[in-house]
Structure 1
């Protein structure tokens, strides 16, 4: 840390004490996008939690992009007997914009079926249905001992997600359009080698309109997101000297390390994601989930029904996720549900939340700090517009762009092996003078510490990076003199290091889920 005169040090300590408790609980109390809006807290099966989009760094897969959409937050491994099956009455979708107009050009649409087998056991003179998901050991897809066979389909839709041309993605070789989803990791007695079992559910696939086969996997994974959850929610119940000391970025336990998540992973050839009419290597991506407009609870459901609810009507979007943390720290409470139901093409209605963010000023008011004592004063915050709405010129900004919120990835920037990736993404790369431009906000990799990066950006870190070497080409609106916390803006962190999380070296990258019992 920089040494400062006493009076300045005192003001900075007060400022940080105010800023960090306010920013971090909102940003991270339920992780990247877990339970981030009022309505979605009631619909955990369709709650999109994290979205990753990156140039594949598995050996031999440099020509591919990996798309990972996570749903169903905060899964306890012991959550039986029904565990965390997906909703067969919902649409789970990954959208790609490859021409910068804020509208989907490709949609990968996942749908699920939970086929109940009705396994029975002879008890006395009767065959009686068992109450569990399994009736014995499981080691293969759709094992005889599984009482519920979870299956899914994936369609690729070109054009509008509801009216465009749709075609089924099929297994390479067999041509089947149906895929098995592995059972959640019930425990080591039921599934002795879960990694090998789950590996049988990684499929090579034919994608209509794409000459190169891809891969797909859907199943439970260990939660890959890291955050100092309990401490942060308790108004940063940690010493200020810890969360401003870069040497202590892993001083606290990751509260999500005991949780699992449900992952929809797709690996697609870069050439199949790019526009056929432009040479632009930048793509945008976001995820969504939609449910039926009408839901009627059956007072007396017939025997054998999988649900007590009858669904009907059009699909209505209830979850949306592109850049992490946007709905948590930028969108105001009255508009959080509206944001989850919106499309990027309509993001103009949320522009003031980005250009004139409220949290830093609320901190100053709450702690009787002068205006500009903590919050960057480069209003409107064009640095945030670049980070969240347009992409960075020369890195991940499309040639023609409609400002809108989504992850943007330059597919022409080579992937960096896991061990060499900078945990602070592009900002960290600039600070270190390295060559890793393949990280957040240029897409997002599992290793990228988006909480710390977002803290740095919110408190003017992009302006500071720009001021150091004009890296981002900002104008005078990003003058470092307008960043009150410039001395320590790069040091802010939540005391949990995303980079030390366990991950796989290849597809589907997220780690084997934790078992319900050892």
Structure 2
């Protein structure tokens, strides 16, 4: 639940990479259909030049999904959809079509941990059965991993290559378990240390430069108080900014964060302006099965079909 810094609303999605202009877009459950598919609901998109010391040549991309996560929302918590395709698109020549796409797919693995109950080893349905800490996730019953690929050109027909872990060359990354509470992680600091080990330095295909990658639960940075706004705009716009209850102050989102060399995103330096947006897609067909399993609760197939798109600031809201 570590809070991301809030970024001021921008008037356009275009990012002038020579200037540290922030870009923000926001959307929470903005349409009837997406309310039925919260795991693929894109909520926020941020794109800005890194303001960390020594990183002026880096651009940060942050895509948030699965809005309004309740703190300590057990027992299932908030894994992403293994049957979905999550994407961040970059246009670097001004034609409003993607030139670079970062694609994310997720997978959940059940460890089938068991406890001895009256002499019998019984499978436990919970996602963890004991303390979890940095370097020790043996008590996790479910592990969530993901891959990240870069597509150059059209998102479906372009050239595809995998992003890899600079430490070991692996193309599979781990998403940290959600912050379920202080008994599991001993403290907020304990969770911070646990989650920090999943900030990866990455190799980018076609480049000798490296970037950074993280996917995990973060505090919802959305600056609009949804409860008051949709209660007939029940707020005082001239009052103090902290004068009213923020109903989403304890809500979380799942963040996909990339830190990428700016030169990797621009059109070989020919155009210093880039645009960006996010999407989520599902397969066209879904068939429910009478014999579901953990790894295959249903059967899905067909072409990828876009169900969520986010680009311009607060347009959907």
Superposition TM-score tier, normalisation by shorter sequence = 0.7 to 0.9
Structure 1 residues without counterparts, runs of 5 or longer:
1-30, 329-518
State the 1:77 CA deviation. 1.3
Say whether residues 1:99 and 2:90 are aligned partners.
no
8 Å contact from structure 1 (residues 216, 266) kept in 2:
yes
- Which one of 97, 109, 112 corresponds to residue 115 of structure 1? 109
1:182-197 alignment runs, 5 A limit: 182-192=176-186, 193-197=190-194
State the 1:184 CA deviation. 0.3
Say whether residues 1:312 and 2:301 are aligned partners.
yes
8 Å contact from structure 2 (residues 26, 316) kept in 1:
no
Say whether residues 1:233 and 2:230 are aligned partners.
yes
8 Å contact from structure 2 (residues 28, 42) kept in 1:
yes
For 1:224 and 1:86, locate their aligned partners in 2 and report how far apart those are by CA, in whole Å.
19
Structure-2 residue corresponding to 1:263: 255
For 1:154 and 1:136, locate their aligned partners in 2 and report how far apart those are by CA, in whole Å.
30
1:273-284 alignment runs, 5 A limit: 273-276=265-268, 279-284=270-275
State the 1:292 CA deviation. 0.8
Q: TM-score, normalised by structure 1?
A: 0.54
Structure-2 residue corresponding to 1:218: 215
State the 1:141 CA deviation. 5.9
For 2:260 and 2:26, locate their aligned partners in 1 and report how far apart those are by CA, in whole Å.
24
1:31-70 alignment runs, 5 A limit: 32-70=26-64
Structure 2 residues without counterparts, runs of 5 or longer:
1-24
Say whether residues 1:173 and 2:167 are aligned partners.
yes
Structure-1 residue corresponding to 2:16: none
State the 1:310 CA deviation. 1.1
- Which one of 269, 281, 290 corresponds to residue 281 of structure 2? 290
For 1:197 and 1:312, locate their aligned partners in 2 and report how far apart those are by CA, in whole Å.
36
State the 1:142 CA deviation. 7.1
State the 1:307 CA deviation. 4.7
State the 1:323 CA deviation. 1.3
RMSD over equivalenced CA pairs, Å = 1.5
Bigger Cα Rg:
1
Q: Secondary structure at the match of 2:259?
A: strand
For 2:183 and 2:208, locate their aligned partners in 1 and report how far apart those are by CA, in whole Å.
42
8 Å contact from structure 1 (residues 293, 313) kept in 2:
yes
State the 1:255 CA deviation. 1.6
For 1:231 and 1:35, locate their aligned partners in 2 and report how far apart those are by CA, in whole Å.
15
8 Å contact from structure 2 (residues 105, 146) kept in 1:
yes
Q: Secondary structure at the match of 2:316?
A: helix
- Which one of 194, 199, 204 corresponds to residue 202 of structure 1? 199
- Which one of 61, 83, 89 corresponds to residue 77 of structure 2? 83
Q: How many residues are aligned here?
A: 290
- Which one of 231, 236, 241 corresponds to residue 249 of structure 1? 241
Structure-1 residue corresponding to 2:129: 135
8 Å contact from structure 1 (residues 228, 252) kept in 2:
no
Higher strand share: 2
8 Å contact from structure 1 (residues 142, 180) kept in 2:
no
For 1:166 and 1:142, locate their aligned partners in 2 and report how far apart those are by CA, in whole Å.
34
Greater relative contact order (Cα 8 A, min sep 6): structure 1 or 2? 2
Q: After superposition, give the CA deviation of every residue in 1:282-335 in whole Å (9 maximum; x if it has no partner).
A: 00000000001110111232xx4245321111111100001122123xxxxxxx
- Which one of 44, 68, 79 corresponds to residue 74 of structure 1? 68
Change (3 A) 1:183 1:270: same
Structure-1 residue corresponding to 2:140: 146
4+ long deviations beyond 4 Å? none
Q: Secondary structure at the match of 1:189?
A: helix
For 2:289 and 2:81, locate their aligned partners in 1 and report how far apart those are by CA, in whole Å.
17
For 2:150 and 2:46, locate their aligned partners in 1 and report how far apart those are by CA, in whole Å.
19
Higher helix share: 1
